[in-house]
Amino acid sequence: MSNQDLASCVRAALDEYFKDLDGEQPHAVYDMVLHCMEKPLLEYVLNRAGGNQSKAAEILGLNRNTLRKKLQQHDIQ
């Protein structure tokens, strides 16, 4: 999957989200999208790294402490 494919998926999901609002005012869309995408990303990469947080942090381009904080925020063990 290329970056374009991923961007297309995000656009399609946002199209659905705004359509489903049915006239309601959107709120905090940025945080909602990041939260929805961040947890599966962290879970996937952590699994790919065999549970090794240092490797996962390196793959993600994050500091290990930042990764640990994000894992706690998303209740990921």
Q: What global pTM score does this model have? A: 0.81
Rounded Cα–Cα distance for residues 19 and 51 (Å): 38
Structure tokens at 51: 């549970």
Q: What is the pLDDT of residue 1?
A: 63
Contacts of 38 (CB under 8 A, 6+ apart): 70, 74
**What is the distance between the alpha carbons of residues 31 and 54, in angstroms, rounded to a whole number?**
26
CB 32 within 8 A of CB 14: no
What is the full per-residue pLDDT of the chain (77 aa) written as tens digits? Answer: 676 798 999 999 999 999 999 889 999 999 999 999 999 999 999 999 999 999 999 999 999 999 999 999 999 98
Domains of the chain are 3-73 (1.10.10.60)
Q: Which pLDDT score is estimated for 23?
A: 87
Q: Which amino acid is at 49?
A: A
